[in-house]
């Protein structure tokens, strides 16, 4: 369920191969970057609304691998993995992402996350670049837009709790 006073998430298609999610958090870029790159935080907010992240490993360096496993209430397991290509502390992440399920063809894309300071908050842009328009459209048809909106709402909730502890 979406947070009642949560963030607004804008979705756009900047090109025929991209999906972009943009929202403004009332949090610092440092806090959002930490939540996106540390397993103990990522596993709490990442994934579909009813999913549980049962494994989350991050080797945060250029060429470093990450992987996580999302488990649904029906017991289905959904592994994801990728490699970090660019890391600018508190500003930008670029990494490959693969939905590592053979029956779906192991689709892959490149994810870019930017954390841009704006007044009292941070504009976060989450861009997914596919190898083709058809791959992008299949991804959109999978229901990922709703899942990503929920995920970003949970990121807001998690970083609010992190901020209170700091």
Cα 153 from Cα 99, distance rounded (Å): 22
Tens-place pLDDT, residues 129-138: 999 999 999 9
pLDDT of 3 higher than 60: no
Provide the β-strand partners of residue 125. 22, 114
In percent, how much of the chain has pLDDT > 90? 84
Phi-psi region of 61 (alpha: psi -120 to 50; beta: other; left: phi over 0): beta
* Mean pLDDT computed over every residue of the chain: 93
How much is the pLDDT for 104?
84
Task: Look up residue 157 and give its two tokens.
Answer: 């909730």
Tens-place pLDDT, residues 60-100: 999 999 999 999 999 999 999 999 999 999 999 999 999 99
Give the SS3 label for residue 15: coil
Tens-place pLDDT, residues 21-50: 999 999 999 999 999 999 999 999 998 888
Name all domains of the chain by residue range, CATH numbers in brackets. Answer: 10-161 (3.30.530.20)
pLDDT band at 159 (very low <50, low <70, confident <90, very high): very high
In terms of Cα–Cα distance, which of 90, 87, 137, 89 is closest to 109? 137
């Amino acid at each position: 369920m979406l947070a009642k006073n949560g963030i607004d998430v804008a979705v756009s298609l900047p090109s025929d191969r991209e999906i972009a999610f943009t929202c403004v958090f009332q949090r610092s870029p440092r806090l959002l970057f930490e939540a996106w790159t540390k397993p103990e935080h990522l596993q709490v907010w990442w994934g579909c609304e009813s999913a549980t992240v049962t494994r989350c490993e991050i080797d945060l360096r250029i060429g470093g691998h990450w992987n996580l496993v999302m488990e649904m209430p029906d017991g289905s397991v959904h592994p994801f993995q990728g490699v970090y290509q660019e890391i600018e502390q508190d500003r930008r992440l670029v990494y490959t992402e693969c939905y590592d399920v053979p029956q779906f063809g192991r689709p892959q894309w490149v994810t870019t996350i930017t954390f841009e300071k704006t007044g009292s908050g941070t504009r976060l842009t989450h861009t997914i670049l596919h190898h083709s328009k058809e791959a992008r459209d299949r991804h959109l048809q999978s229901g990922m837009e709703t899942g990503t909106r929920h995920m970003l709402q949970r990121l807001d909730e998690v970083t609010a709790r992190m901020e209170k502890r700091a």
